[in-house]
């Protein structure tokens, strides 16, 4: 490799053609990186026409040059010296994941004025502001369409197309692995573990799938998207996060019997706390397993697909839908960012990044209005229902539906029938719902609390 200039102008490569070339460094050749390399190698000429300069893949930095790959790539491109590769390039594509050394490498490229494309939501949701500041200071850009909802164009529409509107809420399915698992459990009766193993095999899961199933991956995406939507800076720590490890086959089955489906939803929404002069606008960010009525549009999002609703003051409701994970689909988003960044390089100027001027504080769950489904095991006798209903009423929470399922008599307690009572509440303040649930849990007539999950419906 030769040393390239660190300017934004594409370098000429007379040996290959008269079209100028831009030198692309790729960090990582896993599920996504290998697909990006494949596209760069096969489509360089056509991409050159779109960009005005031909992208030349000059090297791929990996941990181990001899690791088996999903795509066959020329061995001479591989190197373990990421720093030398970055220094030799005009543009850097980071697809290794994790915080370090990815952060140091990205900063190395940005500080040298080189545009960076990354799919690293974990990093962006922790250090996004610092990376943007470095890009701005050096007059370059960092782009990350792949980091949120895979192939779906959502980051750039939020940054560009909706930048003249006022976003009220962003809500959706933002993790392919958990959607795949929940969908398999619902439609085929697969076990959690089998479905996760298949999601890993298909290249949907993170290197450590705990990030997926504990909701951390979706939380990073909510922090990134919420920040763009509300012109503020949020990190992973601002997101209230619950994963799907607590969702059992029984929960999935119970939801199905009631005409619902369980999805892991990510939400970022404006909330107003306080009243009158004290009223303050804040933003609640959360990731929670949620029951949705089967007729809800998000209930029909299957497999590793994602879907994101954006509610904006003037646009109204928008829905973005498509593959949320997987090598080739995610590589499509990376390539879109790469072409856009290189077009800017060729034409001059870094383009427009996000702003954080609004500074809306993130807020906790207490004031958020939501509804719960609650499944209780109780003795099947007169008065139980009234007793439980009165606790809901005492806390100002109204019941939307109640279903009773009589269970076979417990042989250990002859003569004492038991019933499963399933309540779905209307929307109420989260703090009131939590107090209601705690009071119900303490009641003598409640033998077991079998399921507790949020519900997204219109009431
Ligand atoms: N797999 C997917 O569906 C999606 C992944 N992403 C993100 O894209 C990035 C890459 O994801 P995958 O390709 O699935 O990961 P992967 O685990 O399949 O591949 C990671 C690659 O990076 C290399 N690598 C890791 N640490 C390195 C280091 N310190 N130095 C040099 N090379 C290193 C590995 O050798 C491997 O080639 C991650 O940030 C991930 O969150 C984003 C959207 C979707
Ligand atoms: N592990 C992630 C990959 C894409 O972001 C997911 O399953 O959604
Ligand atoms: Na995307």
Sign of the Cα torsion 129, 130, 131, 136 reads positive
The atom number, within ligand 1, closest to the CA of 100 reads 29
Q: Hey, whose CA ends up nearest to atom 3 of ligand 2?
A: 325
The atom number, within ligand 1, closest to the CA of 32 reads 13
352: confidence class by pLDDT, cuts 50, 70, 90: low
pLDDT at 17: 55
Asked if pLDDT for residue 101 goes beyond 90, the answer is yes
Q: Check the annotation: does 431 bind a ligand.
A: no
Q: Is 221 a catalytic residue?
A: yes
Q: Identify the three-state secondary structure at position 384.
A: helix
Sign of the Cα torsion 363, 368, 373, 374 reads positive
As for ligand 1, residues whose beta carbon falls within 6 Å of it are 28-33, 61-63, 82, 95-97, 101, 119-121, 146-147, 150, 203-204, 206-207, 325-326, 330
- Ligand 2 pocket check for 90: Cβ under 6 Å: no
Q: Check the annotation: does 268 bind a ligand.
A: no
Spell out the domain ranges in the chain.
16-154+329-347, 167-321, 369-455
The reply to whether 369-455 shares the fold of 16-154+329-347 is no
pLDDT at 8: 42
pLDDT in tens, 208-266: 999 999 999 999 999 999 999 999 999 999 999 999 999 999 999 999 998 999 999 99
pLDDT in tens, 14-53: 444 577 999 999 999 999 999 999 999 999 999 999 899 9
Q: Tell the CATH topology of 369-455.
A: Alpha-Beta Plaits (3.30.70)
458: confidence class by pLDDT, cuts 50, 70, 90: low
Q: Tell the CATH topology of 16-154+329-347.
A: Rossmann fold (3.40.50)
CATH superfamily of 167-321: Dihydrodipicolinate Reductase; domain 2 (3.30.360.10)
pLDDT in tens, 356-410: 989 999 999 998 999 999 999 999 989 999 999 999 999 999 999 999 999 887 7
pTM for the complete prediction? 0.90
The ipTM is: 0.99
């Amino acid at each position: 490799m030769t040393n390239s200039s660190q300017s934004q102008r594409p370098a000429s490569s007379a040996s290959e053609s008269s079209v100028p070339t831009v030198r692309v460094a790729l960090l990582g050749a896993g599920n996504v990186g290998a697909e990006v390399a494949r596209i760069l190698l096969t489509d360089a000429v056509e991409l050159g026409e779109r960009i005005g300069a031909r992208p030349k893949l000059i090297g791929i930095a990996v941990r181990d040059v001899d690791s088996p790959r999903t795509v066959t790539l020329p061995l001479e491109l591989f190197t373990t010296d990421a720093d030398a590769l970055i220094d030799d390039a005009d543009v850097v594509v980071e697809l290794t994941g994790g915080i370090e050394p990815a952060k140091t490498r990205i900063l190395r490229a940005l500080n040298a004025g080189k545009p960076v494309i990354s799919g690293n939501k974990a990093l962006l949701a922790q250090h996004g502001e610092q990376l943007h500041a470095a890009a701005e200071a050096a007059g370059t850009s960092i782009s990350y369409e792949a980091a949120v909802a895979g192939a779906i164009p959502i980051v750039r529409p939020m940054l560009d197309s909706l930048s003249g509107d006022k976003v009220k809420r962003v809500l959706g399915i933002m993790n392919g692995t958990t959607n795949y698992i929940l969908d398999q459990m619902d439609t085929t009766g697969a076990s959690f573990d089998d479905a996760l193993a298949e999601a890993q095999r298909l290249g949907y899961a993170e290197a450590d799938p705990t990030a997926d199933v504990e909701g951390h991956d979706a939380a990073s995406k909510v922090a990134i998207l919420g920040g763009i939507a509300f012109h503020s800076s949020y990190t992973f720590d601002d997101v209230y996060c619950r994963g799907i490890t607590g969702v059992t086959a029984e929960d999935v089955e119970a939801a199905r019997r009631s005409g619902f489906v369980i999805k892991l939803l990510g939400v970022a929404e404006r909330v107003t706390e306080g009243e009158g002069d004290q009223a303050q606008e804040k933003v609640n960010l959360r990731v929670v397993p949620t029951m949705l009525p089967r007729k809800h549009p998000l209930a029909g999002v299957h497999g590793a697909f994602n879907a994101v609703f954006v509610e904006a003051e003037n646009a109204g409701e928008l829905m973005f839908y498509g593959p949320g994970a997987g090598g080739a689909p995610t590589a499509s988003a990376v390539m879109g960012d790469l072409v856009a960044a290189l077009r800017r390089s060729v034409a001059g100027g870094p383009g427009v990044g996000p702003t954080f001027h609004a500074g809306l504080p993130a807020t906790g769950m207490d004031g958020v209005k939501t509804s719960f489904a609650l499944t209780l095991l109780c003795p099947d006798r007169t008065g139980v229902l009234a007793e439980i209903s009165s606790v809901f009423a005492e806390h100002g929470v109204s019941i939307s539906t109640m279903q009773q399922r009589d269970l076979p008599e417990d042989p250990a307690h002859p003569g004492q029938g038991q019933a499963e009572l399933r309540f779905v509440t209307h929307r109420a303040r989260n703090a009131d719902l939590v107090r209601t649930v705690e009071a119900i849990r303490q009641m003598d007539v409640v033998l077991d609390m079998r399921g507790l999950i949020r519900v997204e419906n219109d009431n």
